[in-house]
Amino acid sequence: MLYLFKGFRFRSFRFRSFRFGVVRSRGFGDAVARAAYLTLALLPLALLPLALLSLTHAQEVVTPQRDNTLVVAISQDIQSFDPFAVNEVAGESIVRALFDNLLERDFEGQLVPGLATDYTIIDNQTIEFDLRRGVRFHNGEVFDADSVQFSVERLLEPEANYPNAGQFSAIDRVEILGDYTVRLHLSRPDVSIFDKLTAQLVMVPPEYYVAMGAQGFAAQPVGTGPFRFVSHERDVETILAANSDYWQGSYKGQAEVPFVRFRVIPETATQLAEFQAGNVDIMSNLTADFVPVAERVGTVVAREVPTLVMVWFNAFGGDMTLLQDTRVRQAFNYAVDVETIFNTLQGGYGTRLASTITPLSLGFDGSLTPYPYDPARAQALLQEANFPFDTPITLSIPPNINLPIAEAIANYLADIGLTVRLRPMDLNAFNDAWLRDSEPNMSALFVASWGGLFDPDSQAYFLATDYRASYYSNPAVDAALQAAQSEVDPDVRATLYQQVAQATHQDPAGIYLWAPASLYGVSTRTQGWQAHPRDFVMVSGTQLELQTAIR
């Protein structure tokens, strides 16, 4: 018999659509409804292993078994179970199951309520948050204003030296106005603070954290998320159990499987073999060439992510002068048949780009079209600009970019009479060269990706004149980026980033390739799973179709 497991399901709250307000405007609109209806709840963990798994009359001891466990393959083990120390996508998948943020980005990349139900922008350096009531951590500790203050202070503790603390350097202090009201005071305006709050700043329980200490907390982590920590074996697996007391209204949904097992499988080919054998339900890092194999035993899900992939131009770095003429940079875009490369080597998964602003980024301008393949026009522009065709050009490639992509780009440039030399580099050397920390300096061309661009504020790092990672200079782009960095209103900021898009289309910062899509293999027994644009695997809201009856 087949059973579709639908335990722990609650009717979810629906938030009104919202957007950021201006000063003294409300962020999320009216308070959400309070009622929730239980259809089938898991017994508390204290009573495990006695829990109901189906609408049968018998009870059964419940432990992690293949039939009741969602198995997710991850490419590397979580760095730590102290969530502030996690900085990799694989670990984020586990963190998102265990912990929650004040604000979240949903499956469409939209900002939505988390443990904060609403906010008010008091001024450019003060934000007031209304906190969600009735939420408890897995150990029973109440989530309240003290939790927020402690979590922020813990992340910013200098001695802890957390890798993402620098992103929150604008936070000066958290003021408690009441049990469920806090004010975040900034030392300077930080227009991307809302996006940052959806990332590494999760909430932890103060009393438990202090009692356990940092090491003890990392050994037995406690959050407010839809799953609870069960066990961890280094470089092998992490097992989580459903939190039947998870709060209502989260975009994540409820835990609808009793257990989740995150298996550490570094190699994509090995993940695929386990997926084919039926030992893995969700695998990430699927490449386009493996898609036909995965589709024979399951479903392939593609999810575009806010990542920019392009060939950067070193137009204004050091003594480089070859690429300073706008006509030359336009010619390089016309010279490469990006559409063919995109379809053959990328499988057509993602979206071709016309500027540095990706489709999931604030300020995306859909009216701009990618450069067409036009080698004749490319040659004409180069000749018009008196480009020295006999000068060799180096294209640097980091290990996370497929070499065939760089080879194809070099071949198209060769077709119009250019000589391109490929320089594969290890990642550390590549990054050091990009940041001007080593010799040799970055080459005239370098292909790379830049992710996490929901809010394009970080584009200043590689577009603004004189920024450390920037090899580009355009006064109009500088002005728009600077204005966006001091503007709170998201509508105004979107208009400014549209100006950036239009300027970088006309005056290219690189050969624009694509915003990629992450590919996942999903087993046939896995129901309701959704891919997240931040690349981590969200396991709540997912059901399993059981292959055998539970007696």
Strand order in the sheet with 3-4: 3-4, 543-546, 526-527
pLDDT in tens, 330-351: 999 999 999 999 999 999 999 9
- ∠ CA(332), CA(338), CA(343), 5° rounding? 170
What are the tens digits of pLDDT across the range 188-247? 988 889 999 998 899 999 999 999 999 999 999 999 999 999 999 999 999 999 999 999
Please list, in sequence order, all residues whose beta carbon lies within 8 angstroms of the beta carbon of residue 369, skipping any fewer than 6 positions away. Answer: 354
Instruction: Summarize the confidence of residues 307-325 as an average pLDDT.
Output: 88
pLDDT per position as a tens digit, 227-242 = 999 999 999 999 999 9
**Buried b / exposed e along 89-99 (16+ C-beta atoms within 10 A):** bbbbbbbbbbb
Q: CA nearest 510: which of 353, 304, 404?
A: 353
Question: Six-digit token pair at 113?
Answer: 């309520």
And the tokens for 286? 């699927």
Tokens representing residue 219 in the block = 């050994």
pLDDT tens sequence across 139-163: 999 999 999 999 999 999 999 989 8
Between the alpha carbon of residue 8 and those of residues 47, 63, 96, 542, the distances in Å are 15, 17, 18, 11
Nearest to 453 by CA among 309, 357, 366, 369: 357
Mean pLDDT of 519-539: 95
The per-residue pLDDT for range 402-461, each reduced to its tens digit, is 899 999 999 999 999 999 999 999 988 898 888 876 655 789 999 999 988 899 998 998
**Which ranges of 352-508 does DSSP label H, i.e. alpha helix?**
375-384, 403-415, 427-434, 460-463, 475-484, 490-506
pLDDT for position 435: 83
pLDDT of the residue at 166: 87
Q: Is the peptide bond before 440 cis (omega within 30 degrees of 0)?
A: yes
Give me the pLDDT at residue 58, please.
33
Q: Which tens digits make up the pLDDT trace of 247-274?
A: 999 999 999 999 999 999 999 999 999 9
Q: Domains, the chain, ranges and CATH? A: 3-297+524-546 (3.40.190.10), 308-517 (3.10.105.10)
C-alpha closest to that of 533 among 361, 346, 322: 361
**Average pLDDT score over residue span 357-365:** 95
The closest alpha carbon to 435, from 314, 311, 326, belongs to: 314
